[in-house]
Structure 1
């Protein structure tokens, strides 16, 4: 029996593509183990899927000054030791990393033990964790063709993003029933990422009076961001976070409003959901979401509203324009090829393990 160890965490975007691969590998008879941090979102997601989970010490990799930067290298070093011991016990044929700060010790330990490593980079430019991990990897899977030029050594392969089969099996009828919606009015799905997006939440809620005249809205607002005063409001349904219900909500939605994390936008592309993207600003990120959003805009898959321009008036106008262009976007998405990522990455995993 082949064994694979997955790693990646810090946000849902560093975990959910792994789930697509895990489901397929289990069908093929592989033994699957997962290494993550004890405090990250990956722990709950992976255990919910009943996948063996092992935690290691991890420190955050920061690009800015923080006193924690002086002690976190010691946490990373301990994480390498933790991962080294775990890998000796688990004896995997291959390690697959989706990125995030917890993945670096696992990748380094795998290299030390002579275990081949595959990395997947979702965004157009590699994050810091993946930049540090590339020298230890056999191959680097990338989502955007534009990313190939950022990976040195001829290691990069454009595979696309693994997409969970379950996302394609949602029921619009179940989604409508869950939200108490009907079919007479289009549905807007609002997502701000696994941790929520306060600025998007505020703008959407400030615009509800106008938006609900022509839309029903299901709003995934992030943990701790529910607004009790809006509970029971007709045509508006809010959730902190969804797991099993997400395929049904996606099937129900006609259009989407989202941040521009690559996992979410490629899922929308696969499901042919026209999208309005509000990427994290450069002040709040390294700018990767801005590049992701611009790529989708240029290909005709999405409209973009910069966060600096986000206010109720511009949000309403942008959603109206999105509705007007929805059919045009769906047509462009038909040639997107977003549903081939899982097979491409699986092929590399099997090939690397065999080698």
Structure 2
């Protein structure tokens, strides 16, 4: 009797951080002969990012942490999305649903639970977001990126966060050549997330004369945030963002300056790239980046500079301190259990669907 092909549904969306870890799993899943499908929304970023596997669209509401009439109307969207998910899952009959978070995952997980389809959740941040909190009780396993008290519960397992394999395949010489850097000075990579980080950009601009004496700098400033007044330096390259060639630029970098979103910092960990993290402040977030950064600093993977303390002088001093401890940090990161998040998560999936 021929073995039935295994089938998995991936879900997650609303931001790239809820999609790219899922996509990091796809090549290996396909290589193992698994039929992979994605459930997302038609108007979410997942629709534009998901390629090469079937995509199924549903409705999804968003529950906000503040009073809003949309919290009422979006409840109906969640129930509509659950009904749509149930119909899709009944047709697909997957062996497993893997949910990465974001509010599109809520109706999918709820529908899977009603249909008795096993669910694995993954949480990237130090503490779970609201969508995952609404799904936790319905999951058989919860993969965690951070070694918190929750990671030692019966259903939880410390995995780290999945990252794209191509990020690890960069070539330093190619990166230096693409940036027209000689390699004589250390390369500082600066990035502030998909939208950029104005506070980081402003501090870098103010300190640039000093920084370019020490480093060759590649700066991903965010959409619409280029500074035309900074053109012309042999030691400074600025981009809004970078789609092609980023693995080579990562390979060329010696240290990084960044926000502390989970995807970015776990890429740094896998690359063994020491970073100075400037977390998004509590006034602009639920505080997850502050907790992420604190954990990485405690583990010896990064240094932290709070945004309220960020200025030109503090930035230069903090980057110099990072450079002084670079070699020690690279060694610590090389011994991390969380660094190989992709393999760790795949092992949990394979174990739960009986794939060798």
* Count of residues in correspondence between the two structures: 351
Deviations 1:150-175 (A, max 9, x none): x87x3211122223222211111221
Q: Does 1:39 align with 2:55?
A: no
For residue 94 of structure 1, the aligned residue among 96, 103, 117 is: 96
User: Measured at CA, do residues 147 and 247 of structure 1 come closer, stay the same or move farther in structure 2, by a change above 3 Å?
Assistant: farther
1:16 is the counterpart of 2:20: yes
Partner of 2:343: 343
Partner SS for 1:283: helix
Residue 43 and residue 203 in structure 1: after superposition, are their counterparts in 2 closer, same or farther (change >3 A)? farther
Q: How far is the alpha carbon of 1:147 from its aligned partner?
A: 4.7
Matched residue, 1:52: 54
**Structure 2 residue 250 is the aligned partner of structure 1 residue 246:** no
Please report how far the alpha carbon of residue 318 of structure 1 lies from its aligned counterpart in structure 2 after TM superposition: 1.1
Contact 1:13 1:264 in 2 (8 A): no
Change (3 A) 1:185 1:36: same
Structure 2 residue runs without a partner (length 5+) = none
CA distance in 2, matches of 1:224, 1:74: 36
Output the CA distance in 1 between the equivalents of 2:66 and 2:143. Answer: 28
CA contact (8 A) 2:195 2:223 kept: yes
1:79 to 75, 78, 81: 81
Structure 2 vs 1, CA of residues 233 and 85 (structure 1 numbering), >3 Å: closer, same or farther? farther
Query: What SS class does the counterpart of residue 135 from structure 2 fall into?
Result: helix
Q: Could you say which residue in structure 2 is the equivalent of 1:109?
A: 111
How far apart, in 2, do the equivalents of 1:337 and 1:58 lie? 35
Unaligned stretches of 5+ in structure 1? none
- Mapped pair 1:4 → 2:8: yes
Tell me the TM-score normalized by structure 2.
Answer: 0.92
- Check the 8 A contact 1:99/1:121 in 2, yes or no: yes
TM normalised by structure 1 equals 0.92
Deviates more, 1:116-125 or 1:218-227: 218-227
> Following TM superposition, where does structure 1 have runs of at least 4 consecutive aligned residues deviating by more than 4 angstroms?
none
**1:249-275 Cα shifts (integer Å, max 9, x gaps):** 110100011111222111111111111
Which residue in 1 is equivalent to 2:204? 204
Q: CA deviation at 1:231?
A: 4.5
Distance 2:288 2:19 in 1: 18
